[in-house]
Chain A
Amino acid sequence: MASSSKKPKEENKKKEKSKTEKPEKKASTPQKSNKSKPKPDKSKKKSSNGTPGIPDPSSSTESNENKTQKNVKPNNKRKRKEKEEENGGEATVCRFPMNRIKRIIKSEDSSVAISQDVVFLVNKATEMFLEKFSEDGYKCSVKDRKKSLSYKHLATVAHERKRYDFLSDYVPQKIKAEDALKEMNSTETGEG
């Protein structure tokens, strides 16, 4: 009981000591520090808790502490990203949104249950497919002596390689309307 009553006096003494210590530093600090005289106690207390105790004026200490606290979170995020990059590099970074991939899979077959690993694998496989298809299309554009990769080159690649047979309906080769009509007429006469 008595000890509890003594504590605030001790703290007041500490405040007085801290006030006496301050004026030397206050001269170099801005005027805002005058308003926040009682603050240094918190800084000292906080230092006891484990945070680095810096004997600066109260406002700057708290603002610095708040900044350090605020900066801790983004630094942690950066460190995590760096660790991810160190661990797997591009292996763990997904290029497409997972939710969109899930939606596409569900649209194909809604009754199928899929695990998170599957979404990741499909994500990476799609990325690899895009890279390969782009490379093949670019080679075709180089053969054609064009600087720009166009639909025509992708259609040529899809038509020529067996691996891309499943895309034949999605990347058909463009033909002139006259030729298309001739083919239609020939098929009709052939059937008839």
Chain B
Amino acid sequence: MSKTIPTLSAPQRPSRSSSVRRLRLRLEHRSFRLLCASSAVLVCGVLLAMLFFMFRTGVLTFRDVPVSEFFLSTAWEPENEKYGALVFILGTFAVTGLTLLIAVPISLLAALFLAELAPQRLSRVVRPILDLLVGIPSVVYGYMGLTLLIPALRAVTGSNLGDGVLAASLVLAVMVLPTITRISDDALRAVPRKYVQGSFALGATRFQTVTGVILPAAGRGIVQAVILGMARAIGETMAVVMVIGNTPQLADSLLKPTSVLTSNIVMQLPNVPFDSTWNNALYMMGFLLLAISLLMIGVVRMLQKKGENAA
């Protein structure tokens, strides 16, 4: 779909520019700007409140557990007062990484298909259908993973269970696919047509135009799409918990039941005493989850900046 050029509502009474009117406009602008700024601050405030909320309880963990044990030990046996969270931290990285490895190339190609190659009539039908996928509750994804994907994995690999990093990543990849695809698709379509036409006019093939012109121009939006997809993958809980196996052990194979930060929190938090070290450790893991995603976002942003400077 091409961008529609909006009608410019021409200034209706250009001559009557009294100082009162100018003052009113300036005031209007000022207050609007203030309104927008305070909204932005509020959004950040929510995050900070959340960080504080998790940290306040989480930090109490370290009264009873050495910091080194929490971060470096793989022994999570709260019954025996062992609180090593390394399994879950590594699990979160592994699942998120694998999910992106599967989902990003496919989503990008799908977005290119929708934005550039497919007949627009088809794209216009497909887009709302993709949006539909976002609305499917994660429990449905989890249930389908449990009843369709895992038996299939079992049949293909011959393993006894099928739960694990691979199953979780595949389910998550399906879940983030529409998000990444649709936002990239929007970014691709926002690339000014004259760039594309210019490239074609210079005799570039479609492949060259896409890799040389369209992708770089839409880079910012695509990074945005990947970040949002990654964010959802890190934070998704209800679906992951149904297919990961929920066992606090290091996954040395893609098919071994393991656990990630979110799944461990949701499995155990409802069942632990409020003021226990265990409860605190789970909050610390929640805080960690936030910290990890902030870190990953920071890294992506830095890489992006480096890329821009190099180009």
A binds B: no
